[in-house]
Structure 1
Amino acid sequence: MARQGFREGERKDELLYGILVYGLIGWLVFYYVLNLRSGSYILASLAAALSCWVTGLLWRGWGQRWYFELLYRAGLTTDNGQGALWNRLQQDTRISPTQVVVTLLDGTKLSCDSVQEFDDAAVPLYETDRAGNIALYVNLKKKPDWEDWKAVESVRSSSWGDNLTYIPSREVRHVEVRYLKKKR
């Protein structure tokens, strides 16, 4: 849970250290519940598994950000532990995309001018992957020889569903994404 979305390129030693850290926490909870509380192996095992899961969630949600912020403020590193920038933008739950413009190799621009309108769609907002492929609800389009943007008809249909456009990374020249900081 703690490394969800960051597994690509993870070294075997990082995996081993994660198992040791979370396993140690689970073992301590197991020992405490078994010896000091109930004596039940089933309860101790469940408590140990739950503690590993909760610890992973806490690390992923707050601990990792706090840790790397501390290192940054101390002047020790600018690394955020999230690898490539594209991966960071995908995984950061503190930001929310509002607009996306994708420029294709031929100069055509595809845009979703209000990403939040698709929050209730079958595939919410828009999607990207590590390879740079993009799935986007395109409601505006501009060819290089067009003076103005043109609205794409029938992006949303109550009977047919929402029209999601898949854009392979090999066709993408440039991507612009506007973000807002999420309110918590």
Structure 2
Amino acid sequence: MTKEAVELALNQSWSTLLLVACGYVAYYIANVGIRDHHKLADVTFSILVFAFVSAFAFYFGRWVLNLSLVVSSGITFLFAMAAGASWRVLGRPRFERMLRASRISHSDDLPSAWMALHGERCVATQLVVQLKDGTWLMCDNLSRFQASPNGPCVLGAKGDILMYVTDKLTDKQSKRGVGFVPVADPIDASWGHEITYIPADQIARVDLRRRI
């Protein structure tokens, strides 16, 4: 094989590997938090679509701008990340609204309403959780725990929750008409930040207040 043929083969192998990697990172960013229900075909073809889009950036850098392989590869990878983020933030919401407006579909293609919470970009301000035993747990100001570990809260894909509890209301207190009672501050200067884990099978209701 000539030197040119070897170089061409190496470039093709590298470009294939690069585009597959770009396709996956774009897919991951575009679907982070809402991927559990995806089937193998969904994952495969989503990666191929993002890889196809990234190929334009790669070959534009190589052939039109005449950039080196390293530089054009770096630009392509960053482009793929931006493409995935753009689809998640801008593309998907507008595409779903277009489908609803045209009466093609009113489904958002998510397996549950719980998963829809993960796609909203609104700022959450307050979280209240009712347990199956009637107890209510509340974080009255989520922004206070923004810088805390796992803050301000975590809504797990399986329905479980991590939250900083600031107020509590038992079932007996609720029946007597008592309001929420403050608990010990989750942030202690000596002991640190105390977060509460709530398994999904213990949760009866979740109220999440968000600022538009």
TM-score range, shorter chain: 0.7 to 0.9
Q: Is the counterpart of residue 88 in structure 1 residue 94 in structure 2?
A: no
**1:28 counterpart residue number:** 56
Match of 2:143 among 103, 116, 120: 116
Q: Any stretches of 5+ residues in structure 2 without a counterpart? A: 1-28
Structure 1 residues 34-53: aligned runs within 5 Å: 34-38=62-66, 40-53=68-81
**2:210 counterpart residue number:** 179
Q: Is the counterpart of residue 167 in structure 1 residue 198 in structure 2?
A: yes
Match of 2:158 among 116, 120, 131: 131
Runs of 4+ with >3 A deviation: none
Q: Is the 8 A contact 1:25 1:51 kept in 2?
A: no
CA deviations 1:56-86 (Å, max 9, x no partner) are 1111111111111111111211122444211
Q: Is the 8 A contact 1:29 1:48 kept in 2?
A: yes
CA deviations 1:124-159 (Å, max 9, x no partner) are 111120221111111111112223232102322122
**56-65 vs 170-179, greater mean Cα deviation:** 170-179
**3-state secondary structure, aligned to 1:176:** strand
Q: Any stretches of 5+ residues in structure 1 without a counterpart? A: none
**3-state secondary structure, aligned to 2:31:** coil
TM-score by length of 1: 0.88
More helix, by proportion: 2
Distance 1:167 1:51, change over 3 A: same
Q: Distance in 2 between matches of 1:103 and 1:113?
A: 14
CA deviations 1:29-68 (Å, max 9, x no partner) are 2222212221522223223222222211111111111111
**1:156 counterpart residue number:** 187
Q: How many residues align?
A: 180
TM-score by length of 2: 0.77
Cα deviation, residue 97, structure 1: 2.1
Q: Distance in 1 between matches of 2:185 and 2:57?
A: 55
**2:93 counterpart residue number:** 65
Distance 1:154 1:75, change over 3 A: same
